[in-house]
Structure 1
Amino acid sequence: MNKSTGLDLVFSSYESLGPRKYVLTIFIFLVYSVATLANIFIMLVIYLESSLHKPMYIFLFNLICSGLLGSSAVWPKVLSNLLTDWHTSSYEGCLLQVYLLSIYAACTYSTLTVMAYDRYVSICKPLQYHIIMNPSKIRMWLMLSNLVPVFSIAGQIYLTSRIPLCSRTLNKLFCDNLSIINISCGAGSLGILSNVYGLLIIVCLSVLPTFLILLSYVKIISVSLKVSKNSQSKALGTCLPHLIIFINYSIATVFSVIYNRLTVLMSSEMNVFISFQVTLLPPLLHPVIYGVRTKEIRKCTVKITQRLCASTNCYYTSKLKEPKIFAIS
């Protein structure tokens, strides 16, 4: 039986923020709210517009869902800790947060990999695109990109939960798997098994997807060099949003690795900055990059906005034109 069950973990990073926590609370609330609303709006645009029911936008919908999962797993709890004097989390709640964050990280990589494959087929095998990326294949890719991380990470969380803790203090704003491992007692063979399994997950769900994405772009570039300038610009236009998000997320992952290993040496300001970089900025950039860089989404966004404005104007106009009936006493 794990004696850690029922304990509260304490986040020590909040204590060093002082009065700055009020400014930080407003900033986090505004950025998190804007990012959430923007992502939900893009999801609605994709859902409502039948012209966007294509593989690239279906995978984008899935990418946005994973981004919302990651940010929502962290920032409401961080805001709650900032607004109270109790900077704690239950051990079970901490494990749940680690689980959701890990799913967000792994699903983002797997979805970006599937999106890269979609771009590769579109550019390198255009005549076979609708055969390769048919509805059944899309469902298969979506299931694999979501279910593989969900079940594989569940095994990691189970192993982590079996290791007893030797401390209750985390020098973080929120929970992550390595921080829990660092305050655990090791537990001999169980600790080694957890580390080996965690390394295997990193290789399969992070390193391998990165390699496949880079390989896809090598193939895309090699094919693009053989076509006209106009075709090259079109290929670049369809790939650029995905490439920007992949580069940004890879940088965020590198920051996360540094953050997890050098937390004790970091100032509170750097601690907060890297927390933003890992879990808040990537979800915020999804609607910005795809909304600005993708012509089809821009057109559909304008169309839906005009439709909403027109319906609102019609509603108020009809209200103004309604005859007023006065009761005669």
Structure 2
Amino acid sequence: MINSTQVSFFTLAAYCDTGAFKHLYFMIVMCLYMLILCSNLLLIVVICVNRSLHEPMYMFLCSLFVNELYGSTGLFPLLLLQILSDIHTVSASACLLQNFFVFLYGGVEYFNLAVMSYDRYLAICCPLRYNTQMSFSKITMLIAVTWFYPLLFCLVMTSLTSSLQLCGSIIQKVYCDNHAVIKLACGDTTAVNISGFFISLLSVFSLLLLILYTYGKILKVCFSGSKQTRQKAVSTCTPHLISLLNFTFGVLFEIVSSRFDMNNLPNVLRIFLSLYWFTCQPLLSPLVYGLNMSKIRIIFKSLVFDKV
């Protein structure tokens, strides 16, 4: 843990004075959080209760929705408390815990999207071998890897960050994240920076290469295949590509804003963009997959209207 005699509380300095509007902002953020919870939870239930959806693609989707529930819960409760509070402070232990949540959410989301691109590659490029390649044991192993490796990386980085000697307590954000805490260190951060570099190299860049490789193969099949093959590729890959590009945009902005001075942007815009990957991704994914995948739409309608 962070030495409590050195830093016992952090100040989240990016909050602006909302005055009489804080209750309105609280209700807006609360509605947003409830919408994220309900939409993701609803699709998890739809996938779990229907055996016809117990296929590789939908099982990976279920893992994606679970992670988005987890990531939103790591952000919104503290965010709601801070909106109502006049003093925007958070204890060192709570900050460290949220730091862990943020790191794990981003890692699992990216791993999950990479596994889904691999699944689409097998379905489109190797359709005859798809059922044998995507056995239940392999699906279980891929989902376990999707959660285990980010968890391992997060434990390493959080433990290294918690051992740093800090000379400040002001974080220029509305939530705690790993890089923001490291910037407050007054001691040697070489071990943390090297570890972060290798973790990024092993995870983000290797996953990006996997995604580029799979979509390169899919495009090759689309251009050389029949019209039916192209239609199948477009219908199954479009939701995944939208989700992938949306999440990548949010993460890239977060990385850039953490490492460069963004004071020239209005404060409200900085806050919105820093929360983009936490809010827009969990909102967009259920919408994109729920509307674009006909099987989910049909089963959802049968569940709702049959009950009515």
Would you say same fold, with TM above 0.5? yes
Q: Distance in 2 between matches of 1:264 and 1:214?
A: 30
Cα distance between partner residues in 1 of 2:19 and 2:199: 38
2:37 aligned partner: 36
Alpha-carbon RMSD: 1.6
For residue 195 of structure 1, what is the amino acid of its counterpart?
Answer: N
- CA deviation profile, 1:119-138 (whole Å, cap 9, x unmatched): 00011111110110000101
Supply the distance in 1 between the matched residues of 2:90 and 2:136 (Cα, whole angstroms): 43
Give the Cα separation in 1 of the matches to 2:259 and 2:24: 27
The residue identity in structure 2 corresponding to 1:3 is: N
Query: Residues 68-83 of structure 1: matches in 2 within 5 Å?
Result: 68-83=69-84
Superposed displacement of residue 15, structure 1? 3.9
- d(CA) in 2 for partners of 1:17 and 1:193? 40
- Residue 22 (structure 1) shift: 3.3
Q: Do 1:171 and 1:263's aligned partners in 2 also have CA atoms closer than 8 Å?
A: no
Alpha carbons 1:255, 1:278 under 8 Å: kept: no
**Mapped partners of 2:148, 2:48: distance in 1:** 22
Q: Flag the 1:301–1:199 CA change in 2: closer, same or farther, 3 A.
A: same
Aligned: 1:52 with 2:53: yes
For 1:114, the equivalent position in structure 2 comes to 115
Partner of 2:299: 300
Distance in 1 (alpha carbons) for counterparts of 2:285 and 2:54: 18
Within 5 Å, give how 1:92-103 maps onto structure 2. 92-103=93-104
* Deviation of the 1:42 alpha carbon: 0.4
Equivalent residue, structure 1, for 2:208: 210
Q: Which runs of 5+ in 1 are unaligned?
A: 310-329
**Following the alignment from structure 2 to structure 1, what is the Cα–Cα distance between the partners of residues 288 and 218?**
21
Alpha-carbon contact 1:16-1:268 (below 8 Å) kept: no
The structural deviation recorded for 1:142 is 0.8
Matches within 5 A, 1:172-191: 172-185=173-186, 187-188=187-188, 191=189
Confirm or deny: 8 A CA contact 2:117 2:211 kept in the other structure. yes
- Alpha-carbon distance change, 264 to 246 in structure 1, aligned in 2, over 3 angstroms: closer
User: Structure 2: which amino acid aligns with 1:40?
Assistant: L
Note the alpha carbon deviations across 1:67-90, whole angstroms, 9 max, x for none: 111111011101011112231111
Which residue is equivalent to 2:288?
289
Q: How far apart are residue 262 of structure 1 and its match?
A: 3.9
Question: Is the Cα contact below 8 Å between 2:250 and 2:274 reproduced in 1?
Answer: no
Q: Equivalents in 1 of 2:36, 2:154: separation in Å?
A: 26
Contact 1:12 1:170 (C-alpha < 8 Å) held by counterparts: yes
TM-score normalised by structure 2 residue count = 0.95
Instruction: Say if 1:177 and 1:90 are closer, same or farther in 2 by CA, change over 3 A.
Output: same
Alpha carbons of structure 1 residues 150 and 243: separation in structure 2 relative to 1, 3 Å: same
CA distance in structure 2 between the partners assigned to 1:79 and 1:262 by the alignment: 27
Shift of 1:18: 3.9
TM-score (norm 1): 0.89
Percent sequence identity over aligned pairs: 32
Larger radius of gyration: 1
Select which of 216, 219, 233 maps to 2:217: 219
3-state SS in 2 of match to 1:13? coil
User: Aligned partners of 2:20, 2:274: CA distance in 1, in Å?
Assistant: 19
Aligned residue number for residue 172 of structure 2 = 171
Instruction: Report if aligned partners of 2:2, 2:93 keep a CA contact under 8 Å in 1.
Output: no
Aligned-partner Cα distance in 2 for 1:201–1:221: 30
Which secondary structure does the structure 2 equivalent of 1:280 belong to? helix
Whether contact under 8 Å (2:114, 2:211) holds in the other structure is: yes
Aligned-partner residue type, residue 235 of structure 1 = A
8 A Cα contact 1:17 1:268, kept in partner: no
* Aligned residue pair count: 306
* C-alpha deviation, 1:221, in angstroms: 0.7
- Aligned counterparts of 1:300 and 1:151: Cα–Cα separation in 2: 37
